[in-house]
Amino acid sequence: MNILKKRIKVLIVEDSPVAVLALKRMLATSDEIEVVGTARHGKEGLEMIPRLNPDVICTDLHMPVMDGLEFTKEIMARHPLPTLVVSVSVGESHTQNVFQLLQAGAIDVFPKPQGALIDQTGEFSAELVSKIKVLSGVIPFSKQKRQKAVAAGVFPPALHPAKAVSVSLTKDLRMIVIGASTGGPQALEVILKALPHDFPLPIVCVQHISDGFLESLVEWLAKACKVRVVIVKNNELPMPSTVYFAPDHKHVTFNSEGRFLLTDAPPVDGHRPSVTVTMASLAERYQRGAMAVLLTGMGRDGADGMLSVSRVGGTTIAQDKDSSIVFGMPEQAIRLGAAKYVLDIGAIAKVLVDFANKEKTVSLTKT
């Protein structure tokens, strides 16, 4: 007996008819997704949600009557639903507004189809379909839970009581690599904002993000953080108090001198940049002086890389399920036995802050 699989219901909130048509065509490439409605602005979208009961919402940033930011805030207050920001605000001076929607509760970002992108039906459509499928399984945090978490300095919030655990950090620690995908910008904001301006080590972040949004992400975090936040340059020597983001379409590795070496090697685990590639190079170059942190995200990128760090005696930390928006990458590392510590996002931030304060052993929380 064949049982029909329930289709993912999507509501598009977008004032451009051309963009709506393009998005509908792209989503139509999957028989698992159904566009159940379109709205011209946020107010109209809010009125349609109770009637259409969508699983995922795609919203523009700039719209008349009610823009994407206000719309997202209202969604989280009234009907918490997984929300994807689809915006042309790439390369503009106010691109950080896109990430304000993530702060308000949206889960991920995607570039609005325009120009040549409208005609694409291959990788671009596949990426959008993949994001919708991932978001359909996400349970957003309510406005009340979000406000409590932000007030406590821990976002996303843990859902269960925590218990104490001790984490020992070696004096040999020299380099930190953090990997993330879906939900990563929000998690990285929590960690990086907590760091003091004189944080004693370099940090490399490998964040899976749609083309065109990396510079915006770096600008947004740079304005919010005390440490310097930049994009990696080839042959650059990593410096303390600086957070380096892997550039689009390049793997980040370390050469024998500890300088960054960018490569065009094939994707690993479907990604370039790949978290696993950078962590494997980290393990080879820094041995016990390496720390690998794996945050929220879909898939398994980073799991094998974290295992490499664990095998050479480095410190390995995976974000826990309750504070992850998508518990994919951390879960795979945990299953491999690669993660020595499994901590909520606030505790991970505390590990780094306490290390900066020269404490050898710190008391944290763990589910």
Phi, psi of 199 (to 5 degrees): -55, 130
Beta strands 108-111 and 175-180 are unpaired
CA distance 74 to 104: 9
Cβ neighbours, 10 Å, residue 73:
20
CATH 3.40.50.2300, the chain: domain bounds: 8-140
User: What single string gives the DSSP state of each residue in 93-131?
Assistant: TTTHHHHHHHHHT--EEEEPP-GGGGG--SHHHHHHHHH
CA distance 29 to 33: 9
> What superfamily does domain 163-366 belong to in CATH?
Methylesterase CheB, C-terminal domain (3.40.50.180)
CATH 3.40.50.180, the chain: domain bounds: 163-366
DSSP at 115: G
User: Could you read off the pLDDT tens digit of each residue along the chain, which spans 367 residues?
Assistant: 345 678 999 999 999 999 999 999 999 999 999 999 999 999 999 999 999 999 999 999 889 999 999 999 999 999 899 999 998 755 544 555 788 888 889 999 998 876 655 555 578 889 999 999 999 988 775 544 544 454 444 444 443 333 445 677 767 889 999 999 999 999 999 999 999 999 999 999 999 998 888 998 999 999 999 999 999 999 999 999 999 999 999 999 999 999 999 999 999 999 999 999 999 999 999 999 999 999 999 999 999 999 999 999 999 999 999 999 999 999 999 999 999 999 999 999 989 988 887 643 444 444 3
Active site residues: 181, 208, 301
Contacts of 145 (CB under 8 A, 6+ apart): 157
- CATH number attached to the domain at 8-140: 3.40.50.2300
CA atoms within 13 A on the CB side of 279: 34
Beta strands 8-13 and 56-59 are parallel
Cβ neighbours, 10 Å, residue 20:
19
